[in-house]
Amino acid sequence: MRIAIFLFEGVTALDPIGIYDPLARLPDTEIIFVSETGDPCRTGDGFLSLAPSAAIGDLEPVDMLLIPGGSTDGLRQCMGSEGLRSGIARLDQTTIITASVCTGSLILGASGLLRGRKATTNWRAKEYLARFGAEYTGERVTKAEKYWTSAGVTAGIDLGLALCGHIAGDELAAAVELAMEYDPKPPFGTGNPHNAPADRQKIVMEVLRG
């Protein structure tokens, strides 16, 4: 299984890494990090730089294409790049799975891949999916034909494990889950916006980075 994970300036650090970690544990997977130009990409907070090994335009066909989310500026740049959109659409023609983490779904949408399909994304970006003809589900992970999307940031780990099960079977995927010791018990219980009070959501929107 040949897997490409896209990086861009402003990417959220956990988005590509959260989905990468479970998939990288499977035998017989090859994972390639790519960016639009092949140059390193800083995360949205500016503290971390991730180095791809290729430019997306030079990439040969892959079995799986994964698009993470990121900062507003980074997303706008990606969605506004005709070359990037066409590169994603070109690779999508031959993928078995095309997937996104968090607001990466907006890049898929801008590339014309989610029209008429159900999809999920970060709760703060849900209204934008409709602009690309997608139906927001609010689920942690949504599958629509070969297109898989996840909710915000940490849901990328769930997506990675779900994809492990899809391509390698539940038994091996369950072993990956155990190897990662993935048994989250969030200390505050407000990771779902439906469980979070309005004042907590206000802090997210007005105070926090990302």
DSSP the chain: -EEEEE--TTB-THHHHHHHHHHHTSTT-EEEEEESSS--EEBTTSS-EE--SEEGGGPPP-SEEEE--B-HHHHHHHHT-HHHHHHHHHHHTT-SEEEE-TTHHHHHHHTT-STTSEE---GGGHHHHGGGT-EE---SEEEETTEEEE-STTHHHHHHHHHHHHHH-HHHHHHHHHHTT-----SSS--SGGGS-HHHHHHHHHTS--
Range of the domain at 140: 2-185
Please check the confidence at residue 174 and state whether its pLDDT lies above 80. yes
Specify if 13 maps to a domain: yes
**CATH value at residue 64:** 3.40.50.880
Interval 158-162 mean pLDDT: 99
**Residue found by looking up tokens 């968090």 in the block:** 102
Please give the positions annotated as active site: 102
- Reported as a pLDDT band with limits 50, 70 and 90, residue 202 is confident
Specify if 80 maps to a domain: yes
Q: Over the stretch 10-44, which tens digit does the pLDDT of each residue have?
A: 999 999 999 999 999 999 999 999 999 999 999 99
Specify if 40 maps to a domain: yes
Specify if 12 maps to a domain: yes
Q: Residue 168 CA to chain centroid, in angstroms?
A: 20
Specify if 210 maps to a domain: no
Specify if 150 maps to a domain: yes
Q: Residue 184 CA to chain centroid, in angstroms?
A: 19
Instruction: Tell me the pTM.
Output: 0.95
Please check the confidence at residue 204 and state whether its pLDDT lies above 90. no
Burial of 179 (0-12, 13-18, 19+ CB in 10 A): exposed
What is residue 185's predicted lDDT score, i.e. its pLDDT?
Answer: 95
Q: Over the stretch 82-141, which tens digit does the pLDDT of each residue have?
A: 999 999 999 999 999 999 999 999 999 999 999 999 999 999 999 999 999 999 999 999
Q: Over the stretch 5-18, which tens digit does the pLDDT of each residue have?
A: 999 999 999 999 99
What is residue 8's predicted lDDT score, i.e. its pLDDT?
Answer: 99
